[in-house]
Structure 1
Amino acid sequence: MSEPTLVRALTPVRGFWIGVVLTVLGLVTVRLLYSTLYGPLNLGWLSSDLVQFAGVLFQGVVLPLGMALMVASLAVRALADTSVVTRSDRHEDPEDTPTWPLRLTARTALVLGLVFAAIGVIFQMNVSTWTQTIQGDSTFLRDFVVYFGGPLSDLVLPLGVLLIAGAWILRTIEERQEAGAPARGGDQAR
Protein backbone atom coordinates (compact mmCIF):
# COMPACT_ATOMS: atom_id res chain seq x y z
CA MET A 1 0.00 0.00 0.00
CA SER A 2 1.26 3.44 -0.78
CA GLU A 3 1.27 6.27 1.71
CA PRO A 4 -1.20 9.10 1.26
CA THR A 5 0.21 12.01 -0.73
CA LEU A 6 -0.28 14.42 2.17
CA VAL A 7 1.95 12.32 4.43
CA ARG A 8 4.76 12.22 1.86
CA ALA A 9 4.44 15.93 1.11
CA LEU A 10 4.65 16.99 4.75
CA THR A 11 8.37 17.40 5.35
CA PRO A 12 9.75 18.79 8.62
CA VAL A 13 10.20 22.19 6.97
CA ARG A 14 6.66 22.31 5.65
CA GLY A 15 5.29 21.01 8.95
CA PHE A 16 7.16 23.72 10.84
CA TRP A 17 5.89 26.53 8.62
CA ILE A 18 2.34 25.17 8.59
CA GLY A 19 2.61 25.18 12.38
CA VAL A 20 3.78 28.80 12.38
CA VAL A 21 0.88 29.83 10.14
CA LEU A 22 -1.69 27.97 12.25
CA THR A 23 -0.25 29.42 15.47
CA VAL A 24 -0.37 32.99 14.17
CA LEU A 25 -3.83 32.41 12.70
CA GLY A 26 -5.10 31.04 16.00
CA LEU A 27 -3.62 33.88 18.06
CA VAL A 28 -4.74 36.66 15.76
CA THR A 29 -8.23 35.28 15.24
CA VAL A 30 -8.95 34.76 18.92
CA ARG A 31 -7.55 38.15 19.91
CA LEU A 32 -9.27 40.04 17.09
CA LEU A 33 -12.52 38.15 17.56
CA TYR A 34 -12.87 39.03 21.22
CA SER A 35 -11.41 42.54 21.04
CA THR A 36 -13.67 43.59 18.16
CA LEU A 37 -16.78 42.04 19.65
CA TYR A 38 -16.09 43.28 23.15
CA GLY A 39 -15.98 46.98 22.40
CA PRO A 40 -18.32 48.27 19.71
CA LEU A 41 -20.91 45.51 19.58
CA ASN A 42 -23.48 44.32 22.02
CA LEU A 43 -22.05 42.06 24.75
CA GLY A 44 -24.70 39.52 23.83
CA TRP A 45 -22.61 38.62 20.78
CA LEU A 46 -19.92 37.19 23.05
CA SER A 47 -22.32 34.54 24.26
CA SER A 48 -23.59 33.58 20.80
CA ASP A 49 -23.00 30.04 19.63
CA LEU A 50 -21.07 31.11 16.52
CA VAL A 51 -18.60 33.25 18.48
CA GLN A 52 -18.14 30.53 21.09
CA PHE A 53 -17.58 27.95 18.34
CA ALA A 54 -15.00 30.18 16.63
CA GLY A 55 -13.27 30.80 19.95
CA VAL A 56 -13.11 27.10 20.78
CA LEU A 57 -12.03 26.17 17.25
CA PHE A 58 -9.20 28.68 16.99
CA GLN A 59 -8.06 28.66 20.61
CA GLY A 60 -8.68 24.99 21.28
CA VAL A 61 -7.75 23.40 17.95
CA VAL A 62 -5.89 25.68 15.54
CA LEU A 63 -3.51 27.27 18.07
CA PRO A 64 -2.46 24.01 19.83
CA LEU A 65 -2.21 22.18 16.50
CA GLY A 66 0.11 24.88 15.16
CA MET A 67 2.36 24.74 18.21
CA ALA A 68 2.37 20.94 18.17
CA LEU A 69 3.36 20.90 14.49
CA MET A 70 6.24 23.30 15.17
CA VAL A 71 7.60 21.19 18.03
CA ALA A 72 6.91 17.87 16.30
CA SER A 73 8.85 19.07 13.25
CA LEU A 74 11.95 19.18 15.46
CA ALA A 75 11.54 15.53 16.36
CA VAL A 76 10.63 14.53 12.80
CA ARG A 77 13.71 16.29 11.50
CA ALA A 78 15.84 14.35 13.97
CA LEU A 79 14.24 11.12 12.69
CA ALA A 80 14.51 11.98 9.01
CA ASP A 81 17.47 11.22 6.86
CA THR A 82 19.81 14.03 5.87
CA SER A 83 17.80 14.42 2.71
CA VAL A 84 14.27 15.09 3.90
CA VAL A 85 12.99 16.41 0.62
CA THR A 86 12.19 14.08 -2.23
CA ARG A 87 12.03 15.28 -5.79
CA SER A 88 8.75 14.26 -7.31
CA ASP A 89 8.70 16.28 -10.52
CA ARG A 90 11.71 16.88 -12.71
CA HIS A 91 10.42 20.36 -13.59
CA GLU A 92 10.00 21.29 -9.94
CA ASP A 93 12.89 23.06 -8.24
CA PRO A 94 14.31 21.01 -5.41
CA GLU A 95 14.38 22.64 -2.03
CA ASP A 96 17.72 23.39 -0.50
CA THR A 97 18.75 21.57 2.59
CA PRO A 98 16.37 23.02 5.14
CA THR A 99 17.61 25.32 7.85
CA TRP A 100 14.26 25.40 9.64
CA PRO A 101 13.29 23.87 11.88
CA LEU A 102 16.60 24.10 13.63
CA ARG A 103 18.30 20.92 14.71
CA LEU A 104 18.03 21.06 18.47
CA THR A 105 19.58 18.74 20.97
CA ALA A 106 17.43 17.34 23.74
CA ARG A 107 19.23 19.51 26.29
CA THR A 108 18.65 22.70 24.27
CA ALA A 109 14.96 21.85 23.80
CA LEU A 110 14.60 21.17 27.52
CA VAL A 111 16.28 24.43 28.52
CA LEU A 112 14.22 26.42 26.00
CA GLY A 113 11.06 24.68 27.21
CA LEU A 114 11.80 25.47 30.85
CA VAL A 115 12.59 29.11 30.04
CA PHE A 116 9.44 29.50 27.93
CA ALA A 117 7.32 27.80 30.59
CA ALA A 118 8.70 30.07 33.34
CA ILE A 119 8.15 33.21 31.23
CA GLY A 120 4.68 31.93 30.32
CA VAL A 121 3.72 31.42 33.96
CA ILE A 122 4.91 34.94 34.78
CA PHE A 123 2.94 36.37 31.84
CA GLN A 124 -0.21 34.43 32.69
CA MET A 125 -0.11 35.54 36.31
CA ASN A 126 0.72 39.20 35.70
CA VAL A 127 -0.43 40.39 32.28
CA SER A 128 -3.78 41.73 33.49
CA THR A 129 -2.12 43.51 36.44
CA TRP A 130 0.52 45.02 34.16
CA THR A 131 -2.16 46.22 31.74
CA GLN A 132 -4.09 47.97 34.51
CA THR A 133 -0.97 49.43 36.12
CA ILE A 134 0.43 51.13 33.01
CA GLN A 135 -2.89 52.11 31.45
CA GLY A 136 -2.24 55.87 31.55
CA ASP A 137 1.32 55.70 30.20
CA SER A 138 2.07 56.45 26.58
CA THR A 139 5.30 54.49 26.34
CA PHE A 140 6.56 51.58 24.32
CA LEU A 141 6.20 49.35 27.37
CA ARG A 142 2.46 50.07 27.58
CA ASP A 143 2.00 49.38 23.88
CA PHE A 144 3.98 46.16 24.17
CA VAL A 145 1.95 44.90 27.13
CA VAL A 146 -1.40 45.93 25.63
CA TYR A 147 -0.80 44.54 22.14
CA PHE A 148 1.56 41.63 22.74
CA GLY A 149 0.98 40.65 26.39
CA GLY A 150 -2.19 38.65 25.73
CA PRO A 151 -0.92 36.74 22.70
CA LEU A 152 2.38 36.02 24.43
CA SER A 153 0.58 34.69 27.49
CA ASP A 154 -1.43 32.39 25.19
CA LEU A 155 1.64 31.20 23.30
CA VAL A 156 4.71 31.01 25.52
CA LEU A 157 3.51 28.67 28.28
CA PRO A 158 2.03 25.95 26.02
CA LEU A 159 5.03 26.18 23.69
CA GLY A 160 7.36 25.69 26.66
CA VAL A 161 5.39 22.66 27.81
CA LEU A 162 5.49 21.17 24.31
CA LEU A 163 9.24 21.77 24.07
CA ILE A 164 9.77 19.95 27.36
CA ALA A 165 7.84 16.96 26.00
CA GLY A 166 9.71 17.28 22.69
CA ALA A 167 13.02 17.15 24.59
CA TRP A 168 12.08 13.72 25.87
CA ILE A 169 11.40 12.54 22.32
CA LEU A 170 14.65 14.06 21.07
CA ARG A 171 16.59 12.39 23.89
CA THR A 172 15.12 9.03 22.97
CA ILE A 173 16.18 9.57 19.35
CA GLU A 174 19.68 10.67 20.43
CA GLU A 175 20.10 7.58 22.62
CA ARG A 176 19.12 5.36 19.72
CA GLN A 177 21.54 7.07 17.37
CA GLU A 178 24.36 6.87 19.95
CA ALA A 179 23.73 3.16 20.40
CA GLY A 180 23.94 2.66 16.65
CA ALA A 181 20.36 1.51 16.32
CA PRO A 182 18.50 2.67 13.26
CA ALA A 183 16.78 5.98 13.88
CA ARG A 184 13.76 5.14 11.74
CA GLY A 185 12.59 2.10 13.67
CA GLY A 186 11.83 -1.30 12.17
CA ASP A 187 11.24 -0.13 8.60
CA GLN A 188 14.37 -1.84 7.21
CA ALA A 189 12.71 -5.24 6.82
CA ARG A 190 10.21 -3.90 4.29
Structure 2
Amino acid sequence: MARSIRCVIAFIISTILGVGVVQYLVYPTLLQYERFENVMSRFGYTKETLIVFVVLSCWFLYLQIEFRHFSRVYLYLFYSVYLFLLFVVLFTKAPEYHTFNGDLFDFLVWDRGTLIEAFLNVAYFIPLGGLYGLRANWREFILISLLTITGIETIQYVFYIGTFSVSDILLNFLGCLVGYSSCLLIRKFLTKPALK
Protein backbone atom coordinates (compact mmCIF):
# COMPACT_ATOMS: atom_id res chain seq x y z
CA MET A 1 0.00 0.00 0.00
CA ALA A 2 2.79 2.42 0.92
CA ARG A 3 4.51 1.76 -2.43
CA SER A 4 1.27 2.54 -4.31
CA ILE A 5 0.93 5.83 -2.46
CA ARG A 6 4.55 6.72 -3.23
CA CYS A 7 3.97 5.94 -6.91
CA VAL A 8 0.86 8.15 -7.03
CA ILE A 9 2.70 10.99 -5.26
CA ALA A 10 5.59 10.56 -7.70
CA PHE A 11 3.16 10.88 -10.62
CA ILE A 12 1.70 14.09 -9.15
CA ILE A 13 5.19 15.53 -8.60
CA SER A 14 6.24 14.47 -12.12
CA THR A 15 3.16 16.20 -13.53
CA ILE A 16 3.83 19.42 -11.63
CA LEU A 17 7.48 19.30 -12.68
CA GLY A 18 6.65 18.54 -16.33
CA VAL A 19 4.04 21.29 -16.63
CA GLY A 20 6.22 23.82 -14.82
CA VAL A 21 9.41 23.14 -16.76
CA VAL A 22 7.73 23.12 -20.18
CA GLN A 23 5.22 25.93 -19.53
CA TYR A 24 7.58 28.38 -17.82
CA LEU A 25 11.07 27.50 -19.05
CA VAL A 26 11.32 25.39 -22.21
CA TYR A 27 8.40 26.65 -24.29
CA PRO A 28 8.98 30.40 -23.76
CA THR A 29 12.68 29.93 -24.55
CA LEU A 30 11.95 27.99 -27.75
CA LEU A 31 9.48 30.67 -28.88
CA GLN A 32 12.34 33.19 -28.92
CA TYR A 33 13.65 31.48 -32.05
CA GLU A 34 11.73 32.21 -35.25
CA ARG A 35 12.32 28.78 -36.78
CA PHE A 36 10.99 27.01 -33.68
CA GLU A 37 7.99 29.28 -33.52
CA ASN A 38 7.12 28.50 -37.16
CA VAL A 39 7.53 24.75 -36.70
CA MET A 40 5.58 24.67 -33.44
CA SER A 41 2.75 26.72 -34.91
CA ARG A 42 2.22 23.96 -37.52
CA PHE A 43 1.73 21.32 -34.84
CA GLY A 44 -0.99 22.37 -32.43
CA TYR A 45 0.04 20.06 -29.60
CA THR A 46 3.75 20.77 -29.28
CA LYS A 47 3.53 22.02 -25.71
CA GLU A 48 1.28 19.15 -24.59
CA THR A 49 3.55 16.58 -26.27
CA LEU A 50 6.61 18.00 -24.49
CA ILE A 51 4.75 17.98 -21.17
CA VAL A 52 3.69 14.34 -21.62
CA PHE A 53 7.27 13.36 -22.52
CA VAL A 54 8.73 15.07 -19.42
CA VAL A 55 6.02 13.75 -17.07
CA LEU A 56 6.25 10.16 -18.26
CA SER A 57 10.06 10.21 -18.39
CA CYS A 58 10.30 11.41 -14.79
CA TRP A 59 7.57 9.10 -13.50
CA PHE A 60 8.89 6.00 -15.26
CA LEU A 61 12.38 6.82 -13.99
CA TYR A 62 10.98 6.96 -10.45
CA LEU A 63 9.09 3.68 -10.91
CA GLN A 64 12.23 1.92 -12.04
CA ILE A 65 14.15 3.22 -9.03
CA GLU A 66 11.26 2.27 -6.73
CA PHE A 67 11.09 -1.28 -8.09
CA ARG A 68 14.90 -1.51 -8.37
CA HIS A 69 14.81 -2.62 -11.98
CA PHE A 70 15.66 -0.70 -15.14
CA SER A 71 13.93 -1.64 -18.35
CA ARG A 72 16.00 -1.52 -21.51
CA VAL A 73 12.83 -0.67 -23.41
CA TYR A 74 12.42 2.48 -21.27
CA LEU A 75 16.04 3.46 -21.87
CA TYR A 76 15.81 2.90 -25.64
CA LEU A 77 12.55 4.82 -25.98
CA PHE A 78 13.64 7.65 -23.70
CA TYR A 79 17.00 8.14 -25.39
CA SER A 80 15.51 7.88 -28.88
CA VAL A 81 13.14 10.76 -28.17
CA TYR A 82 15.68 12.68 -26.09
CA LEU A 83 18.41 12.55 -28.74
CA PHE A 84 15.94 13.62 -31.43
CA LEU A 85 14.81 16.60 -29.31
CA LEU A 86 18.42 17.46 -28.47
CA PHE A 87 19.30 17.41 -32.18
CA VAL A 88 16.38 19.72 -32.95
CA VAL A 89 17.32 22.18 -30.19
CA LEU A 90 21.02 22.21 -31.04
CA PHE A 91 20.97 22.30 -34.82
CA THR A 92 17.75 23.91 -35.99
CA LYS A 93 17.11 26.91 -33.76
CA ALA A 94 19.30 29.42 -35.56
CA PRO A 95 18.64 30.43 -39.18
CA GLU A 96 22.32 31.12 -39.87
CA TYR A 97 25.11 31.97 -37.44
CA HIS A 98 28.83 31.75 -37.75
CA THR A 99 30.35 33.41 -34.72
CA PHE A 100 32.77 32.55 -31.95
CA ASN A 101 32.17 33.49 -28.32
CA GLY A 102 35.21 33.02 -26.09
CA ASP A 103 33.65 34.47 -22.93
CA LEU A 104 33.47 31.59 -20.43
CA PHE A 105 30.97 33.31 -18.13
CA ASP A 106 28.78 35.31 -20.53
CA PHE A 107 25.67 33.85 -18.86
CA LEU A 108 26.42 35.58 -15.53
CA VAL A 109 24.18 38.58 -16.11
CA TRP A 110 20.99 39.70 -14.39
CA ASP A 111 18.81 38.98 -17.39
CA ARG A 112 16.00 36.47 -16.92
CA GLY A 113 16.13 35.16 -20.50
CA THR A 114 19.90 34.64 -20.41
CA LEU A 115 19.77 32.86 -17.04
CA ILE A 116 16.93 30.59 -18.17
CA GLU A 117 18.83 29.71 -21.34
CA ALA A 118 21.93 28.96 -19.23
CA PHE A 119 19.86 26.72 -16.93
CA LEU A 120 18.42 24.90 -19.94
CA ASN A 121 21.92 24.46 -21.42
CA VAL A 122 22.75 22.55 -18.23
CA ALA A 123 19.43 20.65 -18.09
CA TYR A 124 19.49 19.53 -21.74
CA PHE A 125 22.70 17.56 -21.14
CA ILE A 126 21.81 15.83 -17.86
CA PRO A 127 20.36 12.77 -19.66
CA LEU A 128 23.46 12.53 -21.86
CA GLY A 129 25.64 12.40 -18.76
CA GLY A 130 23.33 9.72 -17.38
CA LEU A 131 23.85 7.70 -20.55
CA TYR A 132 27.63 7.95 -20.13
CA GLY A 133 27.23 6.89 -16.50
CA LEU A 134 25.89 3.51 -17.57
CA ARG A 135 29.30 2.29 -18.75
CA ALA A 136 32.08 4.91 -18.62
CA ASN A 137 34.51 5.42 -15.76
CA TRP A 138 35.20 9.01 -14.73
CA ARG A 139 38.20 9.52 -17.05
CA GLU A 140 36.29 8.14 -20.02
CA PHE A 141 33.31 10.29 -19.03
CA ILE A 142 35.36 13.49 -19.01
CA LEU A 143 36.98 12.69 -22.36
CA ILE A 144 33.78 11.54 -24.11
CA SER A 145 31.60 14.36 -22.82
CA LEU A 146 34.09 17.12 -23.64
CA LEU A 147 34.72 15.69 -27.11
CA THR A 148 30.97 15.38 -27.75
CA ILE A 149 30.17 18.90 -26.56
CA THR A 150 33.13 20.48 -28.37
CA GLY A 151 32.13 18.53 -31.50
CA ILE A 152 28.59 19.90 -31.27
CA GLU A 153 29.85 23.47 -30.91
CA THR A 154 32.25 22.97 -33.84
CA ILE A 155 29.48 21.57 -36.07
CA GLN A 156 27.28 24.56 -35.22
CA TYR A 157 30.07 26.93 -36.19
CA VAL A 158 31.35 25.15 -39.31
CA PHE A 159 27.89 24.61 -40.83
CA TYR A 160 26.57 28.11 -39.99
CA ILE A 161 23.85 26.78 -37.68
CA GLY A 162 24.99 28.24 -34.39
CA THR A 163 27.63 29.95 -32.34
CA PHE A 164 30.75 28.25 -31.04
CA SER A 165 30.49 29.30 -27.41
CA VAL A 166 32.97 28.40 -24.71
CA SER A 167 30.32 29.09 -22.07
CA ASP A 168 28.03 26.53 -23.72
CA ILE A 169 30.80 23.95 -23.39
CA LEU A 170 31.05 24.72 -19.66
CA LEU A 171 27.27 24.63 -19.10
CA ASN A 172 26.76 21.47 -21.18
CA PHE A 173 29.61 19.76 -19.34
CA LEU A 174 28.06 20.71 -15.98
CA GLY A 175 24.81 19.12 -17.17
CA CYS A 176 26.66 15.96 -18.19
CA LEU A 177 28.41 15.93 -14.81
CA VAL A 178 25.07 16.14 -12.97
CA GLY A 179 23.67 13.31 -15.10
CA TYR A 180 26.78 11.16 -14.69
CA SER A 181 26.84 11.65 -10.91
CA SER A 182 23.10 10.97 -10.64
CA CYS A 183 23.48 7.76 -12.64
CA LEU A 184 26.27 6.58 -10.35
CA LEU A 185 24.13 7.32 -7.27
CA ILE A 186 21.15 5.46 -8.74
CA ARG A 187 23.32 2.48 -9.66
CA LYS A 188 24.76 2.42 -6.13
CA PHE A 189 21.25 2.58 -4.66
CA LEU A 190 20.03 -0.23 -6.90
CA THR A 191 22.87 -2.54 -5.86
CA LYS A 192 22.12 -2.12 -2.14
CA PRO A 193 19.82 -4.76 -0.67
CA ALA A 194 16.28 -3.48 -0.15
CA LEU A 195 15.23 -2.79 3.44
CA LYS A 196 12.25 -4.80 4.62
TM-score of the two chains, using structure 1 as the length reference: 0.39
Larger Rg: 1
Higher strand proportion, which one?
2
